[in-house]
Copies of this chain bind each other. A is one copy, B any other.
Amino acid sequence: MKTNDQTLSIFALGGINEIGKNMYAVQYSNDIIIIDCGGKFPDETLLGIDLIIPDVTYLEENKEKVRALIVTHGHEDHIGGIPYFLRKLNVPIYATRFTLGLIELKLEEHRLMRDTKLVQVDSDSKLELGEIGVSFFRTSHSIPDCLGIVFHTPEGNVVHTGDFKFDLTPVNEQRSDIHKMADIGEQGVLLLLSESTNAERTGLTPTERIVGDHMDEAFMKAQGKVIVSTFASNVNRVQQVIHSAQKTNRKLALLGRSMVNVVSVAIERGYLNVPDNMMIEAHEIDGMDPERVAVLCTGSQGEPMAALARLASGNYRDTSILPGDTVILAASPIPGNERDVSRIIDNLFQLGAKVIYGSGSSTGMHVSGHGYQEDLKLMLTLMKPKYFIPIHGEFRMLHHHRLLAESVGVEKGNTFIIQNGDVIDIEDSTARQTRKIPAGDTYVDGMGVGDVGDIILRDRRQLSEDGMLVIVITISKTDKKIVSGPDTISRGFVYARNSDDLLKEVNRLVKKSVNDLQEANIHQWNVMKQNIKKSVGKYLYGQTRRKPMILPIIIEI
A residues engaging B (CB < 8 A)? 17, 43-44, 47-48, 335-336, 338-339, 342, 345-347, 349-350, 355, 394-396, 399, 445-448, 451, 453, 455-457, 459-461, 463-468, 470, 472, 474, 483-485, 487, 489, 491-495, 498, 543-546, 549, 551, 553, 555-557
Contact = CB atoms under 8 A, between A and B. Distances in A.
A196 to B, nearest CB: 12
A517 to B, nearest CB: 21
Contacts of A460: 463-465, 467, 492
Nearest to A357: B396
A459 B470 contact: no
Interface SS, A side: mixed
A556 B543 CA distance: 31
Contacts of A453: 495
B463 A494 contact: no
B470 A545 contact: no
B396 A493 contact: no
Nearest to A49: B465
A399 to B, nearest CB: 5
A345 B399 CA distance: 11
As for how many copies of this chain the complex holds, the number is 2
Contact of A555 (B47, B336, B485): B485
B491 A451 contact: no
A446 B485 contact: no
A156 B338 CA distance: 41
A453 B446 CA distance: 28
Given A491-B549, A544-B446, A545-B446, A48 B466 contact: yes
Contact of A463 (B44, B355, B394, B464): B464
Nearest to A485: B555
Contact of A342 (B394, B459, B546, B551): B394
Contacts of A394: 342, 346
Contacts of A483: 557
A339 B342 contact: no
A472 B555 contact: yes
A287 to B, nearest CB: 30
A459 B492 contact: yes
Contacts of A455: 495
Contacts of A466: 48, 446
A56 to B, nearest CB: 20
A453 B335 CA distance: 30
Contact of A498 (B335, B342, B451, B555): B451
A495 B463 contact: no
A124 B396 CA distance: 50
B342 A335 contact: yes
Nearest to A47: B464
B543 A447 contact: yes
A546 B47 CA distance: 12
Smallest CB-CB A-B distances: 5 pairs: A446-B545, A464-B464, A463-B463, A346-B395, A459-B492
A448 B544 contact: yes
Contact of A545 (B447, B461, B465, B555): B447
* A349, A494, A549 interface centre (most CB from chain B within 10 Å): A349
Nearest to A348: B396
Contacts of A338: 335-336, 338
A492 B336 CA distance: 25
A472 B446 CA distance: 26
A493 B48 CA distance: 10
Contact of A470 (B48, B457, B493, B553): B553
Given A342-B335, A346-B395, A491 B551 contact: yes
Contact of A396 (B44, B349, B467, B551): B349
B467 A456 contact: yes
Contact of A451 (B336, B347, B494): B494
Contacts of A489: 551, 553
Contacts of A498: 451
Contacts of A494: 448, 451, 456
A450 B347 CA distance: 27
Nearest to A466: B48
11 contacts: A43-B339, A48-B465, A48-B492, A335-B342, A336-B338, A460-B464, A463-B491, A463-B492, A470-B470, A472-B553, A491-B549
Contacts of A448: 494, 544, 546
A494 to B, nearest CB: 7
Contacts of A484: 474, 555-557
Contacts of A342: 335, 394, 396
Contacts of A47: 464-465, 492
B349 A399 contact: yes
A474 B545 contact: no
A548 to B, nearest CB: 10
Given A467-B463, A491-B549, A555-B485, A346 B396 contact: yes
